[in-house]
Structure 1
């Protein structure tokens, strides 16, 4: 999650909006040898209306509640952020979340995928804006350019349930809202792959105060203004999440070197005590067609079930030499 931008006034001679990374990692495999990451290796659907899930852990300082609307990320008057993180990693995959963003000026709801070497793919919602959501990405915490975000339109994200999807392979990242594609990023378009997120990731869901008094001027400006915590609580709801790991033949992932390239990732299989790595140029993963679907899955809290399809495959992207064998399965989200 990127939580700072410099003020427009400070960047008048450069860019109109600059994002500064503020992420951290317990061990960065680009700098040292780190423990392997436990692989999800399958597809799961978590229904938060049934309560806490063993697939997630709460971040420090986070206390969660659960109800008929699922997981409740409640920011109270103390302004403490609320975040839960998957225990396992995916190495390319598809993640779909049924979510209602928090309202409130300066309140930021987020759905983030992040790796140990600080590759990152984001959805972020501004509580004071009822017409859009922000998409963004970062490669290896690289903030040398600041023109990566987009702001696709979405109707009343604080009051209406929508399904937000990230479909991530070695060839592309596709962001979709209610099965309609709103952005596609190809590997070559991310600084010839240098800024393309491509290492095993966990999923983070959270709600935080971008308009807090102790945030920088730029962060407050980006968040839409100062937050009035006397108006709390501000609550983000997540009803359910489906996570598909496109790599299903391993139990953990480790970095074979310090390049941060997907071709260096080793897939460890404990059952056979053998390691398998993808070859450079191989298309890893299977994602949706770039043709936008005309089917909408948005609903309110009284809606019945709605299906989120997962494609069984797609042809190679330019520059990729091989297709990954047989990955794809259907998953449903229930609203």
Structure 2
């Protein structure tokens, strides 16, 4: 087993972060000088404007850089040649398959997501986006109380489909979904299986405009029909429907600074003196392969005909997604969607634009709920849900279904979700922003990380 070095952890586990950075939400957009709202609810430039940038909460819809369209591909992890740190990635998906935050390692032709003491784990996000389709991943989870392994689809507007694994419950795969990160009713259900730490399993998400199917080892574990997600109050389908990155993560749900609901859900505080820490220097999850098959629709939604996805409305629904030809690349980590050439060297050697003295370029993570939009802050412990070895029934939403689909599902409707901002409806990704400052501001380790990261740019 490869043992993580202190330098590797310092250099890659967490990067430049704004302790004083402005939070962003549906009711508090980012300012023009730091226009991009990151996945974690903080404003900045550069990597803030790439994967995870939420156009609804940014200064303008064009503040976020366009997202690379879906590519059907199987990823075998023989090396890290096409894995790029988020301190260096500038949006060119032709050169990078995965963007990393943390300390990924290669061991025996497998990818290890690692989580060392004083770190917040490792996150890998695909450089391209799926707009419906099929994705499967073969892996072994990590183990231990407070240790969470996740395999999810997460869109920039926080639509989410996921698998999550709690390290003290190795016989259960938790599944969940969210529409724009809003936990309007219980979306979770469990699938029972054998020891996830010692055994490889293939986890699959089959996502179409009308149905989501979760499979384990080719057997259906759960099905959700879009027709069962209609919300008559908001006049919307509460159904994941926008282009999403594949994310693989290992993170400390049991971090002491997390909310008590998250800690309880994760099985308690992380034991930083556990056997895996003593023997290897870190907790780890082992990923063998990931396969993405795009939906390849002939007309929107679900196409990947052009080069990039953007949004033309703050509604953030599938009928507001544009499959177009906008560039996905910035010239430096002070670039934005509206000024992708910022920081580019001119013939005279000067830059075309100078960065703000306070602009943050790479979003950091606290470890709290970093796998996606899961909201465990008020949970009584979702890991206690009743599991089933057979197909899990579709969730009872208590809402009105409009019946069968007419083919290609298009959200339409009033787009009223763009005004939803109450604390009870905020996603975990939004709430994470508030906890980042608290965690990193008081951490000497995080300060060292930031200095090292800036030196590496």
Tell me if the contact between 2:136 and 2:291 (Cα under 8 Å) persists in the aligned partners.
Answer: yes
Tell me if the contact between 1:65 and 1:72 (Cα under 8 Å) persists in the aligned partners.
Answer: yes
Indicate whether 1:253 and 2:309 are aligned.
yes
SS of equivalent to 1:322: coil
| Counterparts in 2 of 1:318 and 1:121: CA distance versus 1, 3 Å | same
Tell me if the contact between 2:66 and 2:326 (Cα under 8 Å) persists in the aligned partners.
Answer: no
> What is the CA-CA distance between 1:251 and the residue it aligns to?
1.2
The residue that corresponds to 2:440 in the other structure is none
Tell me if the contact between 2:68 and 2:127 (Cα under 8 Å) persists in the aligned partners.
Answer: no
Residue-by-residue CA offset, 1:255-310 (whole Å, 9 max, x unaligned): 12222221221111579xxxxxxxxxxxxxxxxxxxxxx9xxxxxxxxxxxxxxxx
| Counterparts in 2 of 1:29 and 1:319: CA distance versus 1, 3 Å | farther
* CA–CA distance in structure 1, aligned partners of residues 326 and 259 of structure 2: 46
SS of equivalent to 2:264: helix
The residue that corresponds to 1:220 in the other structure is 263
* CA–CA distance in structure 1, aligned partners of residues 177 and 317 of structure 2: 16
Tell me if the contact between 2:79 and 2:109 (Cα under 8 Å) persists in the aligned partners.
Answer: no
The correspondence for 2:111, drawn from 60, 71, 89, is 71
The residue that corresponds to 2:97 in the other structure is 55
The residue that corresponds to 1:194 in the other structure is 237
Tell me if the contact between 2:69 and 2:309 (Cα under 8 Å) persists in the aligned partners.
Answer: no
Indicate whether 1:268 and 2:324 are aligned.
yes
The residue that corresponds to 2:218 in the other structure is 179
Tell me if the contact between 1:24 and 1:118 (Cα under 8 Å) persists in the aligned partners.
Answer: no
Q: Within 5 A, what are the aligned runs for 1:146-157? A: 147-157=186-196
Tell me if the contact between 2:61 and 2:312 (Cα under 8 Å) persists in the aligned partners.
Answer: no
Residue-by-residue CA offset, 1:87-136 (whole Å, 9 max, x unaligned): 11111111100110001111000112111111111110011112101101
> What is the CA-CA distance between 1:318 and the residue it aligns to?
5.4
**Rg comparison, structure with higher value:** 2
* CA–CA distance in structure 2, aligned partners of residues 213 and 254 of structure 1: 38
Indicate whether 1:230 and 2:273 are aligned.
yes
SS of equivalent to 2:214: strand
| Counterparts in 2 of 1:152 and 1:24: CA distance versus 1, 3 Å | farther
Q: Number of residue pairs matched?
A: 256
- Cα-Cα RMSD: 2.4
Where in structure 1 are there 5+ consecutive unaligned residues?
Answer: 1-21, 272-293, 295-316, 325-335
Q: Within 5 A, what are the aligned runs for 1:1-20? A: none
Where in structure 2 are there 5+ consecutive unaligned residues?
Answer: 1-38, 43-47, 83-95, 296-302, 328-389, 391-401, 410-457
> What is the CA-CA distance between 1:56 and the residue it aligns to?
0.3
Tell me which moved more, 210-219 or 97-106: 210-219
Tell me which moved more, 225-234 or 92-101: 225-234
> What is the CA-CA distance between 1:323 and the residue it aligns to?
5.8
* CA–CA distance in structure 2, aligned partners of residues 24 and 175 of structure 1: 29
Q: Within 5 A, what are the aligned runs for 1:260-299? A: 260-269=316-325
The residue that corresponds to 1:122 in the other structure is 162
* CA–CA distance in structure 1, aligned partners of residues 109 and 264 of structure 2: 30
Tell me if the contact between 1:200 and 1:253 (Cα under 8 Å) persists in the aligned partners.
Answer: yes
User: Normalising to structure 1: TM-score of the pair?
Assistant: 0.71
* CA–CA distance in structure 1, aligned partners of residues 70 and 125 of structure 2: 17
> What is the CA-CA distance between 1:320 and the residue it aligns to?
2.5
Higher normalized strand content (fraction of residues): 1
The residue that corresponds to 2:406 in the other structure is 321
User: Normalising to structure 2: TM-score of the pair?
Assistant: 0.52
Higher normalized helix content (fraction of residues): 2
* CA–CA distance in structure 2, aligned partners of residues 167 and 88 of structure 1: 17
